[in-house]
Amino acid sequence: MPRSLRSPDRVPTLRTARLTIAPVRSSDADDLEALFHDPRVHRYLPYERRLEPGGTFVARARRGVQEGTGFRFVGRRRDSGEFVISVGVFAIDRWDRSGELGYAVARSQWGRGYATEAVTAVVDWSMRRLGLHRVEARVQWGNAVSQRVLERLGFRPEGTLRDAVLSSRGFNDLRVFGLLADEWRRPARRRRVNLSGAGRRAG
Ligand SMILES: CC(C)(COP(=O)(O)OP(=O)(O)OC[C@H]1O[C@@H](n2cnc3c(N)ncnc32)[C@H](O)[C@@H]1OP(=O)(O)O)[C@@H](O)C(=O)NCCC(=O)NCCS
Protein backbone atom coordinates (compact mmCIF):
# COMPACT_ATOMS: atom_id res chain seq x y z
CA MET A 1 0.00 0.00 0.00
CA PRO A 2 1.50 3.42 -0.94
CA ARG A 3 2.60 5.59 1.99
CA SER A 4 0.22 8.34 0.81
CA LEU A 5 -2.72 6.05 1.52
CA ARG A 6 -1.37 4.97 4.91
CA SER A 7 -0.89 8.52 6.22
CA PRO A 8 -3.52 10.57 4.49
CA ASP A 9 -3.29 13.67 6.70
CA ARG A 10 -1.50 15.75 4.08
CA VAL A 11 -4.14 16.98 1.70
CA PRO A 12 -2.81 19.55 -0.77
CA THR A 13 -4.34 22.63 -2.31
CA LEU A 14 -4.47 22.12 -6.08
CA ARG A 15 -4.19 24.94 -8.57
CA THR A 16 -5.46 24.95 -12.14
CA ALA A 17 -5.57 27.76 -14.70
CA ARG A 18 -8.68 29.33 -13.18
CA LEU A 19 -9.30 27.60 -9.86
CA THR A 20 -7.85 27.08 -6.40
CA ILE A 21 -9.06 23.70 -5.16
CA ALA A 22 -8.58 23.43 -1.41
CA PRO A 23 -9.63 20.84 1.19
CA VAL A 24 -13.11 21.58 2.58
CA ARG A 25 -13.02 23.87 5.62
CA SER A 26 -15.63 25.30 8.02
CA SER A 27 -15.86 28.58 6.14
CA ASP A 28 -17.17 26.65 3.09
CA ALA A 29 -20.31 25.46 4.92
CA ASP A 30 -22.71 28.16 3.65
CA ASP A 31 -21.60 27.83 0.02
CA LEU A 32 -21.89 24.04 0.19
CA GLU A 33 -25.36 24.23 1.71
CA ALA A 34 -26.53 26.66 -1.00
CA LEU A 35 -25.08 24.34 -3.65
CA PHE A 36 -26.71 21.14 -2.43
CA HIS A 37 -30.06 22.78 -1.69
CA ASP A 38 -30.40 24.10 -5.26
CA PRO A 39 -32.96 21.80 -6.95
CA ARG A 40 -31.19 22.02 -10.35
CA VAL A 41 -27.99 20.81 -8.69
CA HIS A 42 -29.31 18.11 -6.35
CA ARG A 43 -31.52 16.53 -9.00
CA TYR A 44 -28.87 13.92 -9.78
CA LEU A 45 -27.18 13.74 -6.36
CA PRO A 46 -27.80 11.37 -3.43
CA TYR A 47 -31.08 12.24 -1.75
CA GLU A 48 -29.77 13.13 1.71
CA ARG A 49 -27.57 15.95 0.35
CA ARG A 50 -30.52 18.24 -0.17
CA LEU A 51 -31.54 17.95 3.47
CA GLU A 52 -28.27 18.21 5.31
CA PRO A 53 -26.82 21.47 6.67
CA GLY A 54 -23.49 22.59 5.20
CA GLY A 55 -21.84 21.98 8.58
CA THR A 56 -22.75 18.29 8.42
CA PHE A 57 -21.04 17.98 5.05
CA VAL A 58 -17.95 19.74 6.42
CA ALA A 59 -17.85 17.40 9.44
CA ARG A 60 -18.12 14.36 7.17
CA ALA A 61 -15.34 15.73 4.98
CA ARG A 62 -13.11 16.10 8.06
CA ARG A 63 -13.88 12.58 9.21
CA GLY A 64 -13.05 11.27 5.76
CA VAL A 65 -9.58 12.82 5.92
CA GLN A 66 -8.95 11.55 9.47
CA GLU A 67 -10.01 8.03 8.52
CA GLY A 68 -8.35 8.12 5.09
CA THR A 69 -11.65 7.24 3.41
CA GLY A 70 -12.43 10.49 1.61
CA PHE A 71 -10.87 13.71 0.36
CA ARG A 72 -13.29 16.50 -0.47
CA PHE A 73 -12.31 19.83 -1.95
CA VAL A 74 -13.89 23.16 -2.73
CA GLY A 75 -12.87 24.94 -5.93
CA ARG A 76 -12.97 28.74 -6.03
CA ARG A 77 -12.08 31.17 -8.80
CA ARG A 78 -8.53 32.36 -8.44
CA ASP A 79 -9.42 35.90 -9.50
CA SER A 80 -12.47 36.54 -7.30
CA GLY A 81 -12.59 33.75 -4.70
CA GLU A 82 -16.12 32.95 -5.87
CA PHE A 83 -17.36 29.46 -5.01
CA VAL A 84 -17.47 27.18 -8.07
CA ILE A 85 -17.39 23.46 -7.25
CA SER A 86 -17.52 20.76 -4.63
CA VAL A 87 -15.37 17.84 -5.81
CA GLY A 88 -13.69 14.88 -4.18
CA VAL A 89 -12.94 11.20 -3.94
CA PHE A 90 -14.69 9.18 -1.26
CA ALA A 91 -15.46 5.53 -0.36
CA ILE A 92 -11.73 4.95 -0.59
CA ASP A 93 -10.64 1.36 -0.12
CA ARG A 94 -6.99 1.46 0.86
CA TRP A 95 -6.38 -2.20 0.17
CA ASP A 96 -7.86 -2.16 -3.34
CA ARG A 97 -6.61 1.40 -3.90
CA SER A 98 -9.97 2.44 -5.30
CA GLY A 99 -12.23 5.41 -4.72
CA GLU A 100 -15.41 7.04 -5.98
CA LEU A 101 -15.55 10.46 -7.56
CA GLY A 102 -18.21 13.09 -6.80
CA TYR A 103 -18.68 16.67 -7.98
CA ALA A 104 -21.25 19.46 -8.30
CA VAL A 105 -20.88 22.95 -9.78
CA ALA A 106 -22.82 26.04 -8.62
CA ARG A 107 -25.66 26.67 -11.07
CA SER A 108 -24.38 30.15 -12.00
CA GLN A 109 -21.08 28.62 -13.16
CA TRP A 110 -22.33 25.79 -15.38
CA GLY A 111 -21.13 25.38 -18.95
CA ARG A 112 -17.75 27.08 -18.57
CA GLY A 113 -15.60 23.97 -18.33
CA TYR A 114 -15.10 24.22 -14.56
CA ALA A 115 -16.15 20.63 -13.83
CA THR A 116 -13.75 19.32 -16.46
CA GLU A 117 -10.95 21.49 -15.07
CA ALA A 118 -11.45 20.65 -11.38
CA VAL A 119 -12.20 16.96 -11.85
CA THR A 120 -9.06 16.63 -13.97
CA ALA A 121 -6.97 18.09 -11.14
CA VAL A 122 -8.53 15.87 -8.46
CA VAL A 123 -8.25 12.70 -10.56
CA ASP A 124 -4.62 13.56 -11.35
CA TRP A 125 -3.85 14.02 -7.65
CA SER A 126 -5.73 10.82 -6.75
CA MET A 127 -3.83 8.73 -9.26
CA ARG A 128 -0.36 10.25 -9.07
CA ARG A 129 -0.03 11.45 -5.48
CA LEU A 130 -2.55 9.55 -3.40
CA GLY A 131 -1.78 6.34 -5.23
CA LEU A 132 -5.22 5.13 -6.27
CA HIS A 133 -5.30 2.41 -8.90
CA ARG A 134 -8.94 2.87 -9.84
CA VAL A 135 -11.39 5.78 -9.72
CA GLU A 136 -15.06 5.09 -10.22
CA ALA A 137 -18.01 7.40 -10.87
CA ARG A 138 -21.70 6.61 -10.74
CA VAL A 139 -24.00 8.71 -12.89
CA GLN A 140 -27.77 8.65 -12.84
CA TRP A 141 -29.46 7.81 -16.09
CA GLY A 142 -30.27 11.05 -17.92
CA ASN A 143 -27.34 13.08 -16.58
CA ALA A 144 -25.74 13.57 -20.01
CA VAL A 145 -23.57 16.51 -18.97
CA SER A 146 -21.88 14.60 -16.16
CA GLN A 147 -21.37 11.62 -18.45
CA ARG A 148 -19.72 13.93 -20.99
CA VAL A 149 -17.31 15.25 -18.35
CA LEU A 150 -16.22 11.70 -17.49
CA GLU A 151 -15.89 10.57 -21.09
CA ARG A 152 -13.71 13.56 -21.93
CA LEU A 153 -11.36 12.54 -19.13
CA GLY A 154 -11.14 8.99 -20.43
CA PHE A 155 -13.51 7.20 -18.04
CA ARG A 156 -15.02 4.09 -19.61
CA PRO A 157 -18.61 2.89 -19.16
CA GLU A 158 -18.57 -0.39 -17.23
CA GLY A 159 -22.21 -1.25 -16.76
CA THR A 160 -25.56 -0.26 -15.34
CA LEU A 161 -26.92 -0.76 -11.84
CA ARG A 162 -30.64 -1.02 -12.48
CA ASP A 163 -33.02 1.00 -10.25
CA ALA A 164 -30.14 1.58 -7.86
CA VAL A 165 -31.25 5.01 -6.65
CA LEU A 166 -34.60 6.28 -5.42
CA SER A 167 -35.41 9.94 -6.02
CA SER A 168 -38.58 12.03 -5.98
CA ARG A 169 -39.07 10.89 -9.59
CA GLY A 170 -38.96 7.21 -8.66
CA PHE A 171 -36.20 4.64 -9.09
CA ASN A 172 -33.42 5.40 -11.52
CA ASP A 173 -30.50 3.45 -13.00
CA LEU A 174 -26.88 4.26 -12.17
CA ARG A 175 -24.25 3.99 -14.90
CA VAL A 176 -20.84 3.03 -13.58
CA PHE A 177 -17.74 4.61 -15.15
CA GLY A 178 -14.19 3.60 -14.31
CA LEU A 179 -10.67 4.87 -14.93
CA LEU A 180 -7.44 3.01 -14.12
CA ALA A 181 -4.13 4.63 -13.23
CA ASP A 182 -2.41 3.26 -16.35
CA GLU A 183 -5.08 4.77 -18.56
CA TRP A 184 -4.74 8.12 -16.84
CA ARG A 185 -0.97 8.27 -17.31
CA ARG A 186 -1.41 8.38 -21.07
CA PRO A 187 -0.83 12.05 -21.92
CA ALA A 188 -3.86 12.46 -24.20
CA ARG A 189 -6.04 12.39 -21.10
CA ARG A 190 -5.11 15.87 -20.03
CA ARG A 191 -5.71 17.62 -23.31
CA ARG A 192 -7.00 21.19 -23.21
CA VAL A 193 -6.75 21.49 -19.43
CA ASN A 194 -3.92 23.48 -17.90
CA LEU A 195 -2.73 21.57 -14.88
CA SER A 196 0.40 23.57 -14.19
CA GLY A 197 0.82 23.79 -10.47
CA ALA A 198 -1.70 21.07 -9.67
CA GLY A 199 -0.39 18.96 -6.84
CA ARG A 200 1.52 21.72 -5.09
CA ARG A 201 1.20 21.59 -1.35
CA ALA A 202 -0.71 24.30 0.45
CA GLY A 203 1.49 26.65 2.46
C1 LIG B 1 -22.46 17.90 -14.24
C2 LIG B 1 -21.85 19.26 -13.87
C3 LIG B 1 -20.89 19.06 -12.72
C4 LIG B 1 -21.12 19.81 -15.10
O5 LIG B 1 -20.47 21.02 -14.73
P6 LIG B 1 -19.94 22.05 -15.84
O7 LIG B 1 -18.88 22.89 -15.20
O8 LIG B 1 -21.09 22.77 -16.43
O9 LIG B 1 -19.28 21.05 -16.91
P10 LIG B 1 -18.25 21.42 -18.05
O11 LIG B 1 -18.54 22.83 -18.53
O12 LIG B 1 -16.86 21.13 -17.59
O13 LIG B 1 -18.55 20.34 -19.18
C14 LIG B 1 -19.84 20.10 -19.61
C15 LIG B 1 -19.75 19.24 -20.87
O16 LIG B 1 -21.03 18.72 -21.16
C17 LIG B 1 -21.46 19.17 -22.43
N18 LIG B 1 -22.91 19.36 -22.37
C19 LIG B 1 -23.61 20.44 -21.95
N20 LIG B 1 -24.92 20.18 -22.03
C21 LIG B 1 -25.05 18.92 -22.53
C22 LIG B 1 -26.15 18.08 -22.83
N23 LIG B 1 -27.41 18.47 -22.64
N24 LIG B 1 -25.90 16.83 -23.29
C25 LIG B 1 -24.63 16.39 -23.48
N26 LIG B 1 -23.54 17.14 -23.19
C27 LIG B 1 -23.75 18.39 -22.72
C28 LIG B 1 -20.71 20.47 -22.66
O29 LIG B 1 -20.67 20.79 -24.02
C30 LIG B 1 -19.35 20.09 -22.08
O31 LIG B 1 -18.63 19.25 -22.95
P32 LIG B 1 -17.50 19.85 -23.93
O33 LIG B 1 -16.52 20.54 -23.04
O34 LIG B 1 -16.95 18.67 -24.63
O35 LIG B 1 -18.19 20.83 -24.83
C36 LIG B 1 -22.95 20.30 -13.46
O37 LIG B 1 -23.91 20.35 -14.47
C38 LIG B 1 -23.61 19.95 -12.14
O39 LIG B 1 -23.15 20.34 -11.08
N40 LIG B 1 -24.74 19.21 -12.20
C41 LIG B 1 -25.49 18.84 -10.99
C42 LIG B 1 -24.73 17.88 -10.09
C43 LIG B 1 -24.29 16.63 -10.83
O44 LIG B 1 -24.98 16.14 -11.71
N45 LIG B 1 -23.10 16.13 -10.45
C46 LIG B 1 -22.55 14.92 -11.04
C47 LIG B 1 -23.12 13.72 -10.38
S48 LIG B 1 -22.49 12.22 -11.14
The CA 73 to ligand 1 mean position distance, Å, reads 19
∠194-197-200 over CA atoms, to 5°? 145
Proportion of the chain in helix, strand, coil states, percent, rounded to 5: 40, 30, 30
Rounded to an integer, what distance in angstroms lies between the CA atom of residue 162 and that of residue 121? 30
pLDDT > 90 in the chain, percent:
77
| Ligand 1 site, residue 113, Cβ cutoff 6 A | yes
Ligand 1: which of 40, 120, 145, 147 to mutate, most ligand atoms within 8 Å of CB? 145
Ligand 1: centre distance to CA 32 (Å): 19
What pLDDT score does 168 carry? 75
Give the number of other Cβ atoms within 10 Å of residue 198's Cβ. Answer: 25
Would you state the pLDDT for residue 174? 95
Tell me what pLDDT residue 199 has: 40
Q: Whose CA is nearest to atom 17 of ligand 1?
A: 145
- Judge whether 84 and 19 are in contact, CB under 8 Å: yes
Q: How far apart are CA 82 and CA 77, in angstroms?
A: 5
- Entry field: residues in the chain: 203
146 alpha carbon to ligand 1 midpoint, in Å? 5
pTM for the predicted model, two decimal places = 0.90
Per-residue pLDDT at 63: 95
pLDDT digits (tens, 9 = 90+) for 117-166: 999 999 999 999 999 999 999 999 999 999 999 999 999 999 999 999 98
CA atoms lying within 13 Å on the CB side of residue 155 = 28
pLDDT tens-digit profile of 24-73? 999 999 999 999 999 999 888 876 667 789 999 999 999 999 999 999 99
Distance 172 CA to ligand 1 centre (A): 19
Domains of the chain by start residue, with CATH: 12-189 (3.40.630.30)
